[in-house]
Amino acid sequence: MTSYLGLYAASALALTLCAGAVMAQTYPSKPIRAIVPFGPGGPGDFLTRTLGAKFAEATGQQWIVDYRAGANGMVGTELLTRAAPDGYTLSLATNGTHGINASLFPKQPFDSVKDFAPITRIGMAPFLFVTHPSLPVRNVKELIALARARPGEITWGSGGSPTQLAAELFKKTTGASFIVVSYKGNGPAVTATISGEVSVLFANVAQSAPQVKAGRLRAIGVGSLERSPVMPEVPTVSESGAPGFEAGAWYGMLAPAATPRPIVERLHTELTRILKLPDVQQRLRNEAYHIIADTPEQFTQAIRAEVAKWAPIVKQAGLRSE
The tens digit of pLDDT for each residue in 143-159 reads: 999 999 998 899 999 88
| Ordered alpha helix ranges (H), 131-245 | 140-149, 161-174, 186-195, 205-213
The 10s digit of each residue's pLDDT in 50-79 is 999 999 999 999 999 999 999 889 999 999
Q: Please say if the pLDDT value at position 9 is more than 60.
A: no
Measured CA to CA, the distance from residue 127 to residue 162 in angstroms comes to 10
Domains assigned to the chain = 2-125+249-317 (3.40.190.150), 126-240 (3.40.190.10)
Confidence band for 18, pLDDT divided at 50, 70 and 90: low
In the predicted model, what is the mean pLDDT of residues 169-184? 90
Q: Please say if the pLDDT value at position 293 is more than 60.
A: yes
Q: Which residue type occupies 223? A: G
In the predicted model, what is the mean pLDDT of residues 47-52? 97
Confidence band for 239, pLDDT divided at 50, 70 and 90: very high
| Ordered alpha helix ranges (H), the chain | 2-26, 43-59, 74-81, 101-104, 140-149, 161-174, 186-195, 205-213, 261-275, 278-286, 296-317
Q: What is residue 35's predicted lDDT score, i.e. its pLDDT?
A: 98
Q: What is the mean pLDDT of the chain?
A: 90
